[in-house]
Amino acid sequence: MPQNEYVERWQKQNGKRYDYEERKRKRLAREGHKQSQDAQKLTGLRAKLYQKKRRAEKIQMKKQIRTHEQRNVKSSEPNQPSATPIPQYLLDRSQASHAKALSSAIKNKRAEKAAKFSVPLPKVRGIAEDEMFKVVKTGKKTAKKGWKRMITKPTFGRSLVDPMLSILHFPSNLRPPVGNDFTRRPVKYERFIRPMGLRYKKANVTHPELGVTVQLPIISVKKNPQNPMYTQLGVLTKGTIIEVNVSELGLVTAGGKIVWGRWAQITNNCENDGCINAVLLV
């Protein structure tokens, strides 16, 4: 038996008082009187608490009344299943894709070059290297030298370049991050460590004009405004431009081809939030 259920237990064993129902009815009947007395007589903190509770109750009540009223109203207008006109053959189809079917009317506005870099977040806080990187001092030799760095910010979890190619063509300190399908070389060859726990592959992308948010896979990091090296490392900070895969939204170009990648800008401090929120650049 849980604690505090002594009344229930007593009732189970002995039954209810013979006048239980009657007393309950009377108490309910006097409820209004009790409430009005409380409203008038209570003072101080109790009055405040009481009024707060009463206000919340009234709001609920009014809402309920309104919904009841709406149910009874008979409108003469035929209720249109959707705000935008659609042809007869699409009328009874579920508009499940509605939220996703971002209108392709709003698109390709960024064709002109001038508009290309007018982004929602034009300025971001600078992040110094000592905030971005933690010096790793483990082991006998690395402790002495201290050249190894761990990135303290979220990063994108995929390589853009073939790992072998990147080893061949880039000096080790500028090498793009490796993909997660890549067998790592010995740790001592890597100068930058991107912790697995801070890697992201998906972003919650909002379409600014339709106010729809969809989770989409990230394709690449296009530009980190802090430092070109961060772009190469795939660091995701507030203001970073990323390319997201919008193919499932079904956007098409004027020529009738499917739009695949589309740029978006990160709007939150992802290292604090544990998720990536971005806004689509249209």
Partner 1 sequence: MATILPPPSKKQKTADIKRAQEQQDIDYIPDNLGNVRIQFHDAATGAVTGPPVSVPVSDATTKNIELILNTLLGNDKSERLPYRFALRLGNKADEKNVLDITSDIYRLVLKTGLKTTEDVLGLEYTPQAVFRVRAVSRCSASISGHGEAILATQFSPRSSSRMVSGSGDSTARIWDCDTGTPMHTLKGHTSWVLAVSWSPDDMIIATGSMDNTVRLWEAKSGKPLGNQMKGHTKWITALAWEPYHLQTVGNPRLASASKDATVRIWDVTLRKIDATLSGHKGSVSCVKWGGTGCIYTASQDKTVKIWNAKDGTLVHTLNAHAHWVNHLALSTDFVLRTGYFDHTGQVPEPAEAKVKKAKERFEKAATVGGDIVERLVTASDDFTMYLWEPQKSTKPLSRMVGHQKQVNHVSFSPDGLYIASASFDNHVKLWNARDGKFIHTLRGHVAPVYQCAFAADSRLLVSSSKDTTLKVWDVRTGKLHTDLPGHKDEVYAVDWSPDGKTVGSGGKDKAVRLWKH
Provide, rounded to whole angstroms, the least separation between the CB of residue 258 and partner 1.
5
Which of 70, 79 has the CB closer to partner 1?
A: 79
Q: Using an 8 Å Cβ cutoff, are 164 and 182 in contact?
A: no
Provide, rounded to whole angstroms, the least separation between the CB of residue 134 and partner 1.
46
Which of 6, 89 has the CB closer to partner 1?
A: 89
Give residues in contact with partner 1 (CB under 8 A). 77-78, 80, 84-89, 91-92, 103-105, 250, 252-258
Which of 92, 112 has the CB closer to partner 1?
A: 92
Which of 15, 255 has the CB closer to partner 1?
A: 255
Residue 160 structure tokens: 């853009």
Provide, rounded to whole angstroms, the least separation between the CB of residue 264 and partner 1.
22
Mention every residue, 6+ apart, whose C-beta is less than 8 A from residue 169: none
Terminal Cα-to-Cα distance of the chain (whole angstroms): 61
> Which whole-number Å values give the CA distances from 116 to 78, 112, 145, 254, in the listed order?
44, 7, 44, 19
CB atoms within 10 A of CB 229: 14
The answer for 128, left when phi > 0, alpha when psi is -120 to 50, beta otherwise, is beta
Cα–Cα distance, 90 to 24 (Å, whole number): 57
Which of 92, 130 has the CB closer to partner 1?
A: 92
Provide, rounded to whole angstroms, the least separation between the CB of residue 176 and partner 1.
28
Which of 18, 89 has the CB closer to partner 1?
A: 89
Provide, rounded to whole angstroms, the least separation between the CB of residue 110 and partner 1.
16
Cα–Cα distance, 121 to 184 (Å, whole number): 36
Which of 36, 108 has the CB closer to partner 1?
A: 108
Cα 81 to chain center, whole Å? 29
Cα–Cα distance, 204 to 214 (Å, whole number): 6
Residue 277 structure tokens: 């929120």
Provide, rounded to whole angstroms, the least separation between the CB of residue 73 and partner 1.
18
Q: Using an 8 Å Cβ cutoff, are 157 and 201 in contact?
A: yes
Provide, rounded to whole angstroms, the least separation between the CB of residue 147 and partner 1.
46
Which of 14, 88 has the CB closer to partner 1?
A: 88
Provide, rounded to whole angstroms, the least separation between the CB of residue 251 and partner 1.
10
DSSP labels, 116-145: GG--S--------HHHHEEEE--SHHHHHH
